[in-house]
């Protein structure tokens, strides 16, 4: 409900990205990613890759990231750092960052 109201007020799409093991996501076990030779989904670098891939798969070309608390705030900042330095292959522009209740 809150995302719908925010989308209505700002006039653009609003969606949520849950980091692996948080929110409505499953809790990956170490064997899950090791057996499939995947990166550790709990590392911030992996989560940045997942976030940027999520934005791209949603069709977003530009975003404003809102990060809550230390984890979400750090993820938003690291994503902006990666995009700013052009170290990613996903073409998503981060237009801004909103940090909520963050103490980094």
Where residue 17 falls (left for φ over 0; alpha for ψ -120 to 50; beta otherwise) is beta
Average pLDDT over residues 42-64: 92
Total structural domains within the chain: 1
Predicted TM-score (pTM) of the model is: 0.85
Closest CA to 47 of 20, 68, 15, 28: 20
pLDDT of residue 47: 92
pLDDT in tens, 9-49: 989 999 998 888 777 778 888 998 889 898 998 899 999 99
Confidence band for 56, pLDDT divided at 50, 70 and 90? very high
- Give the DSSP letter of residue 41: T
The residue range of the domain holding 65 is: 2-100
Measured distance CA(26)–CA(13) in Å, rounded:
25
Confidence band for 87, pLDDT divided at 50, 70 and 90? low
* Token pair for 100: 């909520």
């Amino acid at each position: 409900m809150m995302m719908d109201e925010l989308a209505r007020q700002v006039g653009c799409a609003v969606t949520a990205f849950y980091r692996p093991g948080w929110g409505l996501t499953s809790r990956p076990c170490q064997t899950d990613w090791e057996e499939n030779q995947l990166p550790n989904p709990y590392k911030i670098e992996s989560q940045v890759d997942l976030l940027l891939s999520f934005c791209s798969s949603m069709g977003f070309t530009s975003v404003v990231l809102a990060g809550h608390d230390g984890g979400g705030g750090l993820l938003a900042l690291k994503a902006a750092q990666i995009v700013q330095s052009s170290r990613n292959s996903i073409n998503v522009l981060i237009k801004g960052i909103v940090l909520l209740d963050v103490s980094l």
